[in-house]
């Protein structure tokens, strides 16, 4: 991973001038660095805005109006001009018109540079059986154009190349449609069935719409499954995925999963090695209408009693989803597992101070990976011993 910020790499990165390894390093840095990610989002937003601006020729009257303005600027521009008058001129409508026109021109140029290599379709390769694009069976290769459906029956599987940013494998009995493919956004719709994605692109370029939530890739590998009722299950194997519906968002790291339901959206993410009773209680809390809101105490009791250090992933998300009374209980349980770092106070967390929540999450993330590292090394006994010291439950 780059130890320094990567904003200087954005241009080369967006134009595909970095090696695959360097691109991946930029993507990884973006996942972890809020500063660079914010800047990258701005770059991306600028490109998106430019896309939506209609291209209109400037009317002659605009040029006529600009003439005296430009002449005046030339006359008393230079040494005599004060900062104040320059600042003031920014707010003149005519100056705003020039600025807007210039911004448009820059936007279009940037967009053209950024999109000239865009492909209007994705390549599809047959893995097994006879996948179909529209109503036609494909041979060993096919092309999935915008708006087209790719469908597999019980005996077929296919692989899609997502431009140059990744690959998606389509399992049997699955229906997917290509909704968008351009450098700022690649989007599939998964109507039913299961797909696995491996994406090596900057965060939030690849999206999958399901009937009950949108999976936004943050540099990752994952599987996504949609059942006949429109519910979905996301399982992340590397990196992070954000599951979104309207203003609700779940951030799901490697080793964790998250379900969605029609009409509700994403539930709360959980590590798949959490205890069964923890997972059952979480499903009730997220999706059982009878469990909300007054009867939430039941499943919440189970969650707080069963939570290990890793399960602070789940508890952290619950902070913003429960009312203040239940939030206070979650805070106490979390603080016992991973004390809040400097700068994070009980009051701040209970008031959902965004910066404090982020600081605490950064601290928690380190502890989740420690835990998984220990698990991989097979030092389970040791972690259980440590669990007692740290207030772990020592449960699988
Ligand atoms: Zn950075």
pLDDT digits (tens, 9 = 90+) for 353-376: 999 999 999 999 989 875 444 444
Closest CA to 180 of 154, 144, 129: 144
Task: Average the pLDDT over each of 111-120, 123-132, 190-199 and give the range with the smallest value.
Answer: 111-120
pLDDT digits (tens, 9 = 90+) for 157-183: 999 998 778 899 999 999 999 998 876
362 CA distance to ligand 1 middle (Å): 15
Q: Report how far ligand 1's centroid is from the alpha carbon of 40 (Å).
A: 10
Measured in Å, residue 157 CA sits from the centre of ligand 1 at: 39
132 vs 109, higher pLDDT: 132
How far apart, in whole angstroms, are the C-alpha atoms of residue 279 and residue 270?
Answer: 8
- Residues, Cβ < 5 Å to ion ligand 1: 5, 33, 35-36
Say which residue the tokens 């399992």 belong to. Answer: 171
Cα angle 116-119-124, degrees, rounded to a multiple of 5: 160
How many whole angstroms from 9 Cα to the centroid of ligand 1?
Answer: 11
Taking the centre of ligand 1 as the mean of its atom positions, its distance from the CA of residue 148, in whole angstroms, is: 38
Range of lowest pLDDT (68-72, 127-131, 132-136, 327-331): 68-72
Query: Is-cis flag, bond preceding 193, omega within 30?
Result: no
- Using the mean position of ligand 1's atoms as its centre, give its distance from the Cα of residue 195 in Å: 32
């Amino acid at each position: 991973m780059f130890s320094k910020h990567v904003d200087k790499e954005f241009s080369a990165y967006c134009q595909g001038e970095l090696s695959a390894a360097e691109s991946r390093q930029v993507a990884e840095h973006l996942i972890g660095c809020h500063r660079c990610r914010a800047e990258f989002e701005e770059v991306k937003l600028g490109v998106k805005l430019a896309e939506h601006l209609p291209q209109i020729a400037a009317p002659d009257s605009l040029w006529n109006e600009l003439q005296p303005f430009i002449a005046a600027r030339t006359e008393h521009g230079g040494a005599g001009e004060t900062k104040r008058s320059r600042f003031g001129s920014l707010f003149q409508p005519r100056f705003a018109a020039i600025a807007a026109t210039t911004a448009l021109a820059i936007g279009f140029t940037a967009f053209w540079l950024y999109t000239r290599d865009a492909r209007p379709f994705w390549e599809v390769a047959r893995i097994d059986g006879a996948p179909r694009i529209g109503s036609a069976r494909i041979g060993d290769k096919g092309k999935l154009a915008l708006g087209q459906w790719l469908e597999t029956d019980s005996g077929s599987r296919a692989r899609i190349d997502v431009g140059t940013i990744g690959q998606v494998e389509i399992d049997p009995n699955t229906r997917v449609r290509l909704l968008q493919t351009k450098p700022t956004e690649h989007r599939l719709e998964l109507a039913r069935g299961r797909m696995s994605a491996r994406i090596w692109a900057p965060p939030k370029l690849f999206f999958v719409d399901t009937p009950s939530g949108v999976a936004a890739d943050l540099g990752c590998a994952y599987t996504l499954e949609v059942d006949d009722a429109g519910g979905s299950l996301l399982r992340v194997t590397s990196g992070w995925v954000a599951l979104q519906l309207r203003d609700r968002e779940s951030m799901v790291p490697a080793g964790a999963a998250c379900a969605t339901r029609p009409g509700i959206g994403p539930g709360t993410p959980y590590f798949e090695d959490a205890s069964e009773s923890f997972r059952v209680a979480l499903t009730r809390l997220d999706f059982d209408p009878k469990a909300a809101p007054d009867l939430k105490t039941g499943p919440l009791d189970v969650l707080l009693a069963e939570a290990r250090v890793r399960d602070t992933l789940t508890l952290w998300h619950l902070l913003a989803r429960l009312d203040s009374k239940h939030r206070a209980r979650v805070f106490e349980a979390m603080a016992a597992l991973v004390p809040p770092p400097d700068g994070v106070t009980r009051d701040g967390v209970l008031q959902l101070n965004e910066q404090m929540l982020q600081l605490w999450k950064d601290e928690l993330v380190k502890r989740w990976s420690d835990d998984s590292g220990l698990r991989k090394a097979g030092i389970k006994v040791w972690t259980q011993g440590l669990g007692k010291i740290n207030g772990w439950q020592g449960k699988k």
